[in-house]
Amino acid sequence: MEQGTDLAPAQTRGLVLIVEDDGAIADVQRMYLRRAGFGVHVEASGESGLAMIRSLRPVAIVLDVGLPGMDGIEFCRRLRAQDDWTPIIFVTARDEEVDKILGLELGADDYMTKPFSPRELVTRVKTVLRRGPAHRSSGVLRVGSVSLDTENRTVDADGRPVELTAREFDVLAYLLAYPGRVFSREQLLSAVWGQASYTPGRTVDVQIAALRSKLGPASPIHTLRGVGYTARSLHAPDGHGRQL
């Protein structure tokens, strides 16, 4: 496996950091990402990959969970502890639910189990980069008495701090970024999870229920039966002109 940085022949979409100790897998990932217009840099260990983040400034990270030494979970933990929210796609040979939950709650953006199509990997990378700007850019989003700081990843409801998991935060950020707009379960799955075809719609309902519970009476999330979810203040009109 050749390590180092490859830039795509045409103007790149940004640089993707691949942290993978299997040379054959890394080479295939590199080839397909370059074809899609991404620059690519490959590192074979968590330690070296983490050390390169600051200088490379990748737009996304494709991270093997089962790395020798510092594994992917610890890599993600350390990166997020530095308040670096570069999108991470976990790649692993394990398919255990506990691994998925742990990885995503640490702040990973997606999760793929080997073997998978390299074309699907390219699609997943594009998807995490297409997601709404809410949880990738700095600023404060407010709807009603709920405010969300996208830079510090903090949430207040009626003036009290609210602790959310990484995925709960992303769902809320996406809804608050488009106040009044109604999203179906499938749209939320695609925008926030990036895998509408792989994740059951019930997953969205569980996240919404958890958010409402934690936000309490201040929750701006409303359900349009048979349609989807929206975020708006209690006194904003719904799609039929009625006051909520």
Summarised one tens digit per residue, pLDDT across range 2-25 is 565 665 444 456 889 999 999 999
Query: Same structural domain for residues 90 and 124?
Result: yes
Whether 154 and 120 map to the same domain: the answer is: no
Residues 77, 142 within the same domain = no
The answer to whether residues 105 and 170 belong to one domain is: no
The mean pLDDT of the chain is 81
pTM value is 0.55
What band does 135 get if pLDDT is binned at 50, 70 and 90? very low
Long-range contacts of 158-161 (CB under 8 A, 24+ apart): 158/216, 158/217, 158/218
Rounded CA gap, 72 and 67, in Å? 6
Alpha helices in the chain, H assignment, sequence order: 23-35, 46-56, 72-81, 97-106, 118-130, 166-177, 185-188, 202-215
Same domain, yes or no: 72 and 123: yes
**Residue 238: inside a domain:** no
Domain tally, the chain: 2
Residues 21 and 124 in one domain: yes
pLDDT bin (cut points 50, 70, 90) of residue 148 is very high
125, 175: one domain: no
Single-letter code of the amino acid located at 2: E
| DSSP single-letter state for residue 190 | I
Confidence of residue 158 (pLDDT cuts 50, 70, 90): very high
CB-CB contact of 46 with 19 (8 Å): yes
If one compares 215 and 239, the residue with the highest pLDDT of the two is: 215
Contact yes or no for 182/229 (Cβ under 8 A): yes
152 and 217: one domain?
yes
Of 130, 151, 171, the last residue of a domain is 130
